[in-house]
Amino acid sequence: MTEDNKPFVKIIIAAHKKYQMPQDPMYLPVHVGAAGKLGKDGQPLDIGYVKDNTGQNISDKNSEFSELTGLYWAWKNVDAANLGLAHYRRHFSFRKKSSNPFENVLTSKEASRLLHQYKVIVPKKRNYVIETLYSHYAHTHYAEHLDITRKIIAQKYPDYVQDFDQVMEHREGYMFNMFIMRRDLVDAYCQWLFDILFELEKQIGPKTAKMDNFQKRLYGRVSEIAFNVWLRHEVRTGVLKASDIKEVRCIYMEPIDWGRKIASFIKAKFFGQKYDKSF
């Protein structure tokens, strides 16, 4: 705990179903997209986690904003010196201790040590090798999403445009909307991010009716790239130093079907077949 009795670090775990969770009290499982969800008895679905439709929230946007409804809820309702986001199937891991992935999940002691040395903790970058972040998004989703996002940034936050353009040319980036950051940085990031996404929603919203359920989750995907834009800008302008940022492993709690993942990647890049599911 900090001197004013607020938690030093709280990491929400975005989940839409019951799942094994780390027992460390630093973690707070959050039922994302809880708004309107009913159980078999016809009553509001209760999977035993805090619901993202309490307090200030955008829970009803979950089908398009994905885990960001959890991030918004945490931003508005969780009081902690440092705040983070992980997923029920993806977690931060500082070191490997055993073959059981849950025994390798970042602990509060490890997080505390890191956050006394760094201001931002992120998962190691994902490298797309033969794709830029822009081309990969364009092949697997729709380039228009990023093009409109750039126009919005140019209107609302013109100093970020050069960072946006640079990030689009990168072949690697921080993905999954995962991070742990000091509270003031979370406030600044979320204010910037949701201002952009809500405007993007106004401009793209009507078109989502023609998208399948997978492609509708575009705001959560745009934000993955937008986080890299925001972080680059903070370093470029001196708000953060590169040495303030610490990369740690991201571990998966379930096996990844790499064959199917690679096949889908090739189909998207060379044959124009958009992704229709997560891998």
pLDDT given for residue 5 in this prediction: 76
pLDDT given for residue 260 in this prediction: 60
pLDDT over 70 percentage in the chain: 90
pLDDT given for residue 243 in this prediction: 98
Confidence of residue 2 (pLDDT cuts 50, 70, 90): low
Taken in order 121, 189, 235, 161, is the CA torsion positive or negative? Answer: positive
Average pLDDT, the chain: 92
Confidence of residue 97 (pLDDT cuts 50, 70, 90): confident
Confidence of residue 263 (pLDDT cuts 50, 70, 90): low
pLDDT higher than 90, residue 87: yes
Q: Which of 231, 233, 226 is nearest to 163 (CA)?
A: 233
More confident residue, 39 or 219: 219
Domain assignments of the chain as residue spans, ordered by start: 9-271
Contacts of 156 (CB under 8 A, 6+ apart): 195, 196, 199
How far, CA to CA in Å, does 55 sit from each of 32, 51, 106?
A: 13, 9, 28
Q: Cβ distance 138 to 146 under 8 Å?
A: yes
Which of 37-46, 102-111, 269-278 bottoms out in mean pLDDT, i.e. has the lowest?
269-278
User: Coil, strand, or helix at residue 172?
Assistant: strand
Which of 119-123, 127-131, 184-188 bottoms out in mean pLDDT, i.e. has the lowest?
127-131
Distance CA 44, CA 34 (A): 8
H or E element in which residue 134 lies: helix 133-140
Give me the mean pLDDT over the 45-53 stretch. Answer: 97
**In the structure encoding, which two tokens stand for residue 84, read together?**
């983070």
Distance CA 197, CA 194 (A): 5
Distance CA 48, CA 71 (A): 19
More confident residue, 99 or 241: 241
